[in-house]
């Protein structure tokens, strides 16, 4: 249930909330650099959408389950990265883990672009996913710990904004590369379950095929993130947890333009007795975990069970299967991610005004309506070889519904989940709880992604009908269990959990 906000950073419930004086430029710089991890997250996870047809043809992958696994293996890496990221950030610091992730993205981009065979592609895809798992925990945690309470929602949501910008730019660069491929007869994907023809297999620059260049573009932001991450200060909370109070004081003075001793004391009090996060800290009576941890896990699962990544990873294949040309499929995917970007910006602007819980409820209703409409359009269209074929008018309506779904997801579940996971757990076990919740997000992503191609092969309306049902369920779950954390300082989250409904 929702609760009113608890007073600000380092305060008690009897003290008035005030807006602190901050070095705004420095605060924004710190958040923006950390958010580049989100950009790499989005870019590396979604680049496969443009490259998969060419990749499948190049590696001669015809099995539907293996086609899905070439994408979803990254999610297993993400789950592992998320699971151990909490311990790594607690031991080595948030900054070092972000720097490590930038190097892993660099190597993964090269490996995915230049595979020798299916097995080593799977390895590098897994490494890229592992880096995603690291930044999915470290970056929102770092931003939420560095941002003043009154800016925390918007600044932490920059991670999701950068993520969707990465997805958008991936679609844009994929389409740009495809448009530059020499005009020659492309290879046929017939017999492989692919869009025919497969132009991404045509050679482009330096004798490399178009799909390979789609992966190589990843190297640019990976190198940028590496060098910029070196300029960031370490999290003050991490430094205090290591009893490095003098360094923490210096970091806090970079953020706040006022006396920081009270904040230093508040952090110290909130972390008192903590040495490192242990999974034993989150054990509880509710099926082995604390209730708040289960809430975080289910929020993470519901975000994936909306089906958003079915569109991110396989939209080109889906659109091709219902009659769109390859160019139309790429263009539709690019437009969809433009909508994603615009509405994520809107979410960043609204999240500290409307609140987290309200946006989730709005998003559950909106995504359910739009996906329900998509289900009806596919179910009522004539079929050819077992797949629905959309008429021109039905195709237009379906595209509009998909854009509506993307808008509602971006406005709500896309941005809000990362903000909530970064702030909803008490300091004493935040890292461990966040690791478990983010791992659940990626395992749910793996399930949805691995089942997508086989389910779509069985029935496209069934696939979208199931996703619609999960959107409906998510509404009632949020209504009953999710509390509002808008304006609550990280030091006061534990008091929020104790507050009466």
* Per-residue pLDDT tens over the stretch 371-384: 999 999 988 888 77
Cα dihedral across residues 239, 245, 248, 250: positive or negative? negative
Question: Would you give the end-to-end CA distance of the chain in angstroms?
Answer: 7
Q: What is the mean pLDDT of residues 26-44?
A: 95
Residue 18's pLDDT is what?
63
Say whether 203 sits in a helix, a strand or coil: strand
Q: What is the mean pLDDT of residues 195-215?
A: 77
**Cβ within 8 Å of residue 270, ≥6 positions away:** 426, 427, 428, 490, 491, 494
pLDDT at 487 over 70: no
Torsion over CA: 351, 408, 344, 75 (sign) = positive
**Residue-level pLDDT at 497:** 56
Distance CA 58, CA 118 (A): 10
Q: What percent of the chain has pLDDT over 90?
A: 35
Structure tokens at 154: 């918007």
Q: Taking residues 101-120, report their average pLDDT.
A: 95
pLDDT of residue 398: 86
Structure confidence by residue, pLDDT tens digits, 276-322: 556 666 776 666 788 888 999 999 999 999 988 777 777 766 676 66
* pLDDT (average), residues 236-247: 92
Give the pLDDT band (50/70/90) at residue 493: low
414 DSSP assignment: I
**Taking a C-beta distance cutoff of 8 angstroms, is the pair 295, 497 a contact?**
no
* Residue scoring higher pLDDT (108 or 490): 108
Tokens of 80: 């592992």
Residue with more model confidence, 13 or 406: 406
- DSSP 8-state symbol, 158: H
- Please give the backbone phi and psi of residue 365, each rounded to the nearest 5 degrees, phi first: -65, -50
Domain map of the chain by residue range?
A: 24-498
Diameter of the chain by CA atoms? 73
Mean pLDDT in residue range 70-93: 88
Residue 490 pLDDT greater than 70, yes or no: no
Between residues 329 and 47, which one has the greater pLDDT? 47
325-334 long-range Cβ contacts below 8 angstroms, 24+ apart: 326/53, 326/178, 326/195, 326/197, 326/198, 326/199, 327/178, 329/195, 330/50, 330/171, 330/174, 330/175, 330/178, 331/175, 332/399, 333/49, 333/50, 333/171, 334/168, 334/171, 334/172, 334/175
For residues 279-294, b (16+ Cβ closer than 10 Å) or e, as one string? eebbeeeeeebbebbb
Residues 160, 418 contacting (CB under 8 angstroms): yes
Burial of 453 (0-12, 13-18, 19+ CB in 10 A): buried
- pTM value is 0.74
Q: Is 193 left (phi over 0), alpha (psi -120 to 50) or beta?
A: left
Per-residue pLDDT, 196: 44
Identify the three-state secondary structure at position 198: strand
Which helix (DSSP H) or strand (DSSP E) does residue 486 occupy? none
- Write phi, then psi, for 189 (nearest 5 degrees): -100, 10
- The three-class DSSP label of residue 322 is coil
Distances (CA, A) of 360 to 50, 338, 351: 30, 21, 10
Residue with tokens 């959408």: 49
Other C-beta atoms lying within 10 Å of the C-beta of residue 425:
26
Query: Residue 321 has what pLDDT?
Result: 64
Q: Which residue has the higher pLDDT, 142 or 194?
A: 142
* From 3-12, 142-151, 243-252, the region with the lowest mean pLDDT: 3-12
Count how many residues are written for the chain.
501
How many angstroms separate the CA atoms of 177 and 179, rounded? Answer: 5
Where is pLDDT greater, at 439 or 468? 468
Q: What is the pLDDT of residue 329?
A: 75
Decide yes or no: CATH 3.10.20.30 for domain 24-498.
no
Q: Which residue has the higher pLDDT, 344 or 121?
A: 121
Q: Average model confidence (pLDDT) for the chain?
A: 82
Nearest in space to 129 (alpha carbons), one of 369, 446, 489, 396: 446
- Asked if 27 and 146 count as a contact pair (C-beta separation under 8 A), the reply is yes
Task: Tell me whether residue 392 is exposed, middle or buried, using C-beta atoms within 10 angstroms of its C-beta: 0 to 12, 13 to 18, 19 or more.
Answer: exposed
Which residues, at least 6 apart from 368, have a Cβ–Cβ distance to it below 8 Å?
Answer: 468, 471, 472, 475
Given pLDDT bands bounded at 50, 70 and 90, which one contains residue 491? low
- Token output for 166: 């990465």
pLDDT at res. 419: 82
Average pLDDT for 339-367: 90
CA 411 to each of CA 31, 176, 249, 355, 361: distance values in angstroms, whole numbers, following the listed order: 20, 27, 36, 12, 11
- Give φ, ψ of 383 to 5 degrees: -115, 155
In the prediction, which pLDDT does 212 show? Answer: 92
If you compute the radius of gyration of the chain from its CA atoms, what whole number of angstroms results? 23
CA distances from 276 to 163, 243, 248, 429, 489 (A): 29, 12, 17, 9, 21
Q: Stretch 489-499: mean pLDDT, rounded?
A: 57
For residue 10, the model assigns a pLDDT of 33
Q: In this prediction, what percent of the chain has a pLDDT beyond 70? A: 85
- H helices present in 272-391, as ranges: 291-305, 308-321, 326-354, 356-380
Q: Quick one: 275 exposed, middle or buried, by C-beta within 10 A (0-12, 13-18, 19+)?
A: exposed
Sole residue written with tokens 């699971």: 83
pLDDT the model gives residue 274: 52
Question: To which residue do tokens 């710089």 refer?
Answer: 29
């Amino acid at each position: 249930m929702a609760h009113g906000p608890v007073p600000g950073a380092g305060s008690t419930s009897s003290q008035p909330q005030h807006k602190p004086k901050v070095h705004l430029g420095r605060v924004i710089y710190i958040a923006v650099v950390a958010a580049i991890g989100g950009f790499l997250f989005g870019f590396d996870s979604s680049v496969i959408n443009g490259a998969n047809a060419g990749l499948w043809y190049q590696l001669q992958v015809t099995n539907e389950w293996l086609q899905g696994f070439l994408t979803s293996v990254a999610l297993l890496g993400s789950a592992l990265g998320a699971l151990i990221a909490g311990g790594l950030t607690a031991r080595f610091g948030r900054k070092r883990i972000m720097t490590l992730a930038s190097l892993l993205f660099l190597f993964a981009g090269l490996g995915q672009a230049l595979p020798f065979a299916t097995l080593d592609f799977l390895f590098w895809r897994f490494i890229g996913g592992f880096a995603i798992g690291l930044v999915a925990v470290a970056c929102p945690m770092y931003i939420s710990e560095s941002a003043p309470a009154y800016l925390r929602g918007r600044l932490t949501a920059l991670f999701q904004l950068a993520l969707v910008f990465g997805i958008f730019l991936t679609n844009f660069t994929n389409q740009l590369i495809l448009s530059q491929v020499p005009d020659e007869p492309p290879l046929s994907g017939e017999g492989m379950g692919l869009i025919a023809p497969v132009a991404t297999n045509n050679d482009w620059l330096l004798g490399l095929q178009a799909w390979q260049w789609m992966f190589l573009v990843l190297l640019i932001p990976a190198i940028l993130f590496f060098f910029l991450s070196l300029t960031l200060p370490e999290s003050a909370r991490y430094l205090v947890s290591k009893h490095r109070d003098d360094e923490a004081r210096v970091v806090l003075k970079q953020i706040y333009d006022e006396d920081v001793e009270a904040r230093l004391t508040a952090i110290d009090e909130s972390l008192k007795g903590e040495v490192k996060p242990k999974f034993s800290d989150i054990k509880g009576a509710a099926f082995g975990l604390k209730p708040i941890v289960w809430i975080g896990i289910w929020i993470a699962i519901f975000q994936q069970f909306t089906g958003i990544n079915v569109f991110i990873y396989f939209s080109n294949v889906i659109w091709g299967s219902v009659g769109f040309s390859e160019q139309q499929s790429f263009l539709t995917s690019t437009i969809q991610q433009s909508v994603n970007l615009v509405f994520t910006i809107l979410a960043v602007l609204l999240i500290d005004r409307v609140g987290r819980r309200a946006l989730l409820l709005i998003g559950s209703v909106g995504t359910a309506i739009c996906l329900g409409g998509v289900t009806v359009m596919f179910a009522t269209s004539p079929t050819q070889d077992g797949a629905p074929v959309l008429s021109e008018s039905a195709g237009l309506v379906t595209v509009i519904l998909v854009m509506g779904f993307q808008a509602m997801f971006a406005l709500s579940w896309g941005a809000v989940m990362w903000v909530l996971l970064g702030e909803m757990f008490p300091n004493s076990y935040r890292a461990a709880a966040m690791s478990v919740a983010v791992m659940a997000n990626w395992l749910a992503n793996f399930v949805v992604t691995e089942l997508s191609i086989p389910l779509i092969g069985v029935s496209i309306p069934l696939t979208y009908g199931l996703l619609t049902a999960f959107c409906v369920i998510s509404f009632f779950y949020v209504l009953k269990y999710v509390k509002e954390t808008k304006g609550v300082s990280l030091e006061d989250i534990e008091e929020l959990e104790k507050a009466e409904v």
